[in-house]
Chains A and B, each alone.
Chain A
Amino acid sequence: MSATESSMDVLEVRLLAAHDTGDVATLVMLYLEAADRAAAGYHIEKECFFLTHAWIFALEIGDPLADILRARLARNGRV
């Protein structure tokens, strides 16, 4: 298992924990982290998938980050 795969496993555990507790603010940051990792690996489809989740949860809690996330999706033609 590579270091990247291992850290993704940890991230997934953290994501599931945040889903379990309904911690939406943490979900925003964790999905953004997942999107950034995908972007680092040039996986644009994965990046936009995770960005979408981060954006939606940011919208839900009225986090100003929602505008930035939307703009990033827009740059990729996803909104």
Chain B
Amino acid sequence: MTFRDLSAVLQPIAEANGLPNVFYTSDAIYAEEREALWFSSWAGICVAADVPEPGDACPIDFLGVPLFLLHGKDGKIRVFQNICRHRGMILVTEPRQIAGAIRCPYHSWCYNHQGGLVATPHVGGPGQNTHPDIKRDELGLIEVRAHIWLGVVYVNLSGDAPAFTDLHADLIERWAEFDVPLYHGGADSTFTLECRTNWKLAIENYCESYHLPWVHPGLNSYSRLEDHYNIEAPGKFSGQGTEVYRQIEGEAGAKFPDFPNLSDKWDTGGEYITVTPNVMLGVQRDHVFAIILEPKGPRLTREHIHLFYASPDTSEELRLQNADQWQVVFVEDIGVVEGMQAARGAPGFDGGRFSPAMDGPTHIFHRWVADKMMHTPPDAEKGLM
């Protein structure tokens, strides 16, 4: 099988193979994925809580594309390409508060919080701040389509994906009960894990519950395999759910407050779904988490984990306990995703076979990748140079 012959992946699960090795090891494939899977879709880049106050700005390296997030004085969060329209200088190099204009550190061209170019000092000569050939209304910052859902900031770099709310309408509807104010738990509710693995393996592992009793024996003590179900929406999303989510308890039985007006399903329910390409979400009655994958090459991935609650005032002790609990689970997963990555060096591996009963969600993700990679010309920079 060559990397372009992905027909085996697209077969029904009973006959299908997984993606070939090169999809996990090749720099060329990794470069193609930027366009085919990331820039053409809605990818998660950070959380809105990274810029909590008006004026807060934060730079983001999105697969080599410099962006920055700005919480405008008008209250809207926008994402811009992090470059001055003059000489292409980086504008924001570290998280900071921008009370007024965004001033380029090179020649001090200034932009307002909507991205408009408002000042071009000395552009017509010393002390002359206009020039007839420099048309400010044509030289604003390049804004990137952005959408915030469940606390995560998504961008569509190509600009031509369907609206986020259309593309993910089914998932948004499925989890409508969680589309309420979410409160990031703060510094104690975020952590980053670095995994020597391809980003796709992190998702493949997240999709299915098959591995839980083997990799997470602690969870298995109360959340057994038979308590889980597959979530399968081919071409859209996939994941898993549990019917025995158990709330974390502190001393004297203290618990987090629930999200308001949840239906009975969520009394003991929890669901875990990937928003392709790179955001793994989990929802439970008392908290939501997001894992934003940041690939750093075909063999290295950073997982940025964020925990959200129903109230801005939650117990620090409980938050720490919850973050610790999830960190244990996610660290347990590192061994298998790194192990699968190492195995992709075996030349005879055919992508593997799926369990028709247990691996449906993972196969849906493989099909999503294969379908997009087969329908995108192998020109990683198409339309973006």
Contacts and interface: CB of A to CB of B under 8 A. Distances in A.
Contacts of A53: 121
B103 to A, nearest CB: 4
A55 B127 CA distance: 11
B129 interface: yes
Contacts of A62: 73, 99-101
B99 A61 contact: yes
A4 to B, nearest CB: 20
B231 interface: no
Nearest to A52: B121
B347 to A, nearest CB: 56
A73 interface: yes
A12 interface: no
Given A52-B122, A56-B121, A45 B127 contact: yes
Query: Which secondary structure dominates where chain A touches chain B?
Result: helix
Interface residues of A, number: 20
Contact of B110 (A45, A46, A51, A60): A60
Nearest to A60: B103
Interface residues of B, number: 17
Nearest to A46: B127
Contact of B129 (A46, A52, A58): A52
Query: Which secondary structure dominates where chain B touches chain A?
Result: loop
Contacts of A46: 127
Given A53-B121, A55-B119, A60 B100 contact: yes
Nearest to B73: A62
Nearest to A76: B127
Given A52-B121, A53-B121, A66 B129 contact: no
A78 B118 CA distance: 14
B266 to A, nearest CB: 44
A38 B100 CA distance: 27
A51 B127 contact: yes
Contacts of A55: 119, 121
Nearest to B108: A56
A49 B101 CA distance: 19
Given A45-B126, A45-B127, A78-B128, A59 B118 contact: yes
A59 B127 contact: no
A23 interface: no
Contacts of B128: 48, 78
A60 B111 CA distance: 9
Interface string B98-127: 111101000010100000001101100011
Contacts of B118: 59
Nearest to B99: A62
A49 B125 CA distance: 9
A63 interface: yes
Nearest to A62: B100
Nearest to A47: B127
B289 to A, nearest CB: 36
A45 B98 CA distance: 30
B130 interface: yes
A77 to B, nearest CB: 8
Question: Nearest 9 pairs between A and B by C-beta?
Answer: A62-B100, A48-B127, A59-B101, A49-B127, A62-B99, A60-B103, A79-B129, A52-B121, A61-B100
Given A48-B126, A55-B119, A61-B99, 12 more contacts: A48-B128, A51-B127, A55-B121, A56-B110, A56-B119, A59-B101, A59-B110, A59-B119, A60-B98, A62-B99, A62-B101, A73-B129
8 contacts: A49-B122, A52-B121, A52-B127, A52-B129, A56-B121, A60-B110, A73-B129, A78-B127
